Copies of this chain bind each other. A is one copy, B any other.
Amino acid sequence: MKWEDLAKELTQPTDSKIVLLVMDGLGGLPVNGFTELKLPINRIWTKRLERGICGVTDPVFMGITPGSGPAHLAIFGYDPLYYQLGRGILEAMGTGVEVGREDVVARGNFATLKDGIVVDRRAGRISTEENIRLCAFLNQTIQEIDGVKFSFYSGKEHRFVLKITGPGLSDALTDADPQKEGKPPVPATAVAPEAEFTAAVINKFLERLKPVLKNEPKANYALLRGFSKFPSHLPPMTEIYNFKPAAIANYPMYRGLTRLLGMDVLNVGPETEEIFSVLEKNYDRYNFFYLHFKKTDSAGEDGRYEDKIKAIEEIDRFIPRLWALQPDVLVITSDHSTPAVLKSHSWHPNPFVLVSATAAPDEVEHFTERECAKGRLGRFPSLHIMPLMLAHALKLKKYGA
């Protein structure tokens, strides 16, 4: 029996509240003996978390470095090896495109076509301003084909996102991209019978592009890759967990993902303080809160070790406010590690703490990777975070008799 089915059977509505703070890319590696969670900085935190149990989590399994998509799916209780998010979906979410469960999205490149041959797959890397103008023009000119709505979202330089909306769309399509220059364009091909209508619509669109863009010196055509849809077999959180969830996230990808998972996505600005004031304002309206903090990951990705420490210190100041709300379950962890020394996501496990009246506290005194690894929760898959939070919030009934 899968966790999703078990959850549907076992979760019960209660008033208890869960607050999950994900500090993106929090886990790090030592520089001169100290990771970014170096001891001196988290005194407030540690004091407030004395009722906690600690552990470290693996987002996928040992050794696997996850992207933000799979890492978050795991935290929300969805097996990231079973539910896969397509490239197009992630690109669209990262660009801030609102993707619906039935929409198909693709990554687009403006390209140069000459005498029926793709001579430049990136249209000479046109400027982003040009791209914005072209997308606005296409949004006006090609609004709909065969009942399917077309929307264009400009990215950097030659890149854009195409979203198509309508009934009966499928993402079982090959790329409409010859992959190399000096070749003619290739149509999108359906790899499953249910995608034949979508393939036909996409290919009609590609044909219409030619006259529409014929006066453009460089960007007179487009290539489309990574057609994808949100996994249709992925049940929304609201269907399986019997709670009312809200996401407090500022970055498009996390907003897009949580919206597709069925959470209410609350508006929050870029300032760290806002995460907590939005939580406070909406505290009575929901019983599950996902708080996303991005700065730890950004600093890690850029290799800014000191800035990552500062980002952690920034959060540390707000822990008393978090604690003042007295949530029944408070979890602080990361989706994946982003050690500044690696300047990238990594496979290292995430520090994890859970604070709850039903947690028999352990003896961990400092919230660091090394200390958390000695915690009573041991090392466990991120996939078990959700059942653990629900259990401690007394939202899970007994399994079997």
Interface residues on A, range: 35 or more
A64 touches B6 (CB 8 A): yes
Cα A60 to Cα B9 with chains together (Å): 15
Beta-carbon contact of A342 and B358 below 8 Å: yes
Q: Is A192 an interface residue (CB 8 A)?
A: no
Across-interface contacts of A229 in B (CB, < 8 A): none
B interface footprint on A56-80 (CB within 8 Å = 1, 0 otherwise): 1000111111111110000000001
Complex CA–CA separation, A91 to B60 (angstroms): 37
Residues B358 and A391 in contact, CB atoms below 8 Å apart: no
Residue A39 lies at the interface, judged by CB distance under 8 Å to chain B: no
Question: Which B residues touch A286, using CB under 8 A?
Answer: none
Interface window among A203-211, A260-268, A380-388:
A380-388
Within 8 A of B (CB), among A366-401: 369-370, 373, 376-380, 384, 386-392, 396-401
- Given the contacts A87-B401, A345-B398, A400-B67, A29 and B378 also touching, CB distance less than 8 Å: no
Interface residues of A in 30-64 (CB under 8 A from B): 30, 35, 56, 60-64
Minimal beta-carbon separation of A140 from chain B (angstroms): 31
- CB of A347 within 8 A of chain B? yes
CB-based contact A66/B399 at 8 Å? yes
Which residues of the other chain, B, contact A392 by a CB distance below 8 angstroms?
A: 63
Please tell me if the beta carbons of B65 and A399 are within 8 angstroms of each other in the complex: yes
Is A387 in contact with B81, judged by CB distance below 8 angstroms? no
**Binary contact readout A1-45 vs B (1 if CB under 8 angstroms, 0 otherwise):** 100001000100000000000000000011000010000000000
Q: Is A126 on the interface with B (CB-CB < 8 A)?
A: no
Q: Which residue of B lies closest to A35 (CB)?
A: B360
- Does B391 lie within 8 Å of A63, measured CB to CB? yes
Q: Are B388 and A69 closer than 8 Å at their CB atoms?
A: no
Using CB atoms, name the residue of chain B closest to A389: B63
Contact of A66 among B90, B377, B400 (CB under 8 A): B400
Asked if B401 contacts A347 (CB within 8 A), the reply is no
CB pair B384 A61 closer than 8 Å:
yes
A63 and B401 contacting across the interface, CB-CB below 8 Å? no
Q: Counting CB contacts under 8 A, is A362 at the interface?
A: yes
Specify which chain B residues have a CB less than 8 angstroms from the CB of A10 in the assembled complex. 64
Q: A103 CB to closest chain B CB, in angstroms?
A: 18
A318 CB to nearest chain B CB (Å): 27
CB distance from A222 to the nearest CB of B (A): 22
Which residue of B has the minimal Cβ distance to A361? B30
A348 beta carbon closer than 8 Å to chain B: yes
- Determine how close the nearest CB of chain B comes to the CB of A78; give it in whole angstroms: 12
Q: Which B residues touch A85, using CB under 8 A?
A: 400-401
A84 close to B (CB within 8 Å): yes
Contact of A64 among B66, B348, B396 (CB under 8 A): B396
User: A336 CB to closest chain B CB, in angstroms?
Assistant: 9
A132-167: contact bitstring with B at CB < 8 Å (1 yes, 0 no)? 000000000000000000000000000000000000
Convert A341-367 into 0s and 1s, putting 1 for each residue whose CB lies closer than 8 angstroms to a CB of B: 010111110000000001010110000
Query: What are 14 A-B pairs at a CB distance below 8 A?
Result: A35-B360, A60-B399, A62-B388, A62-B391, A63-B390, A64-B391, A64-B399, A65-B391, A66-B399, A66-B400, A67-B400, A346-B358, A347-B391, A362-B370
CB-CB nearest 10 A-B residue pairs:
A63-B387, A67-B400, A63-B391, A378-B379, A62-B384, A70-B400, A67-B401, A63-B388, A347-B391, A90-B401
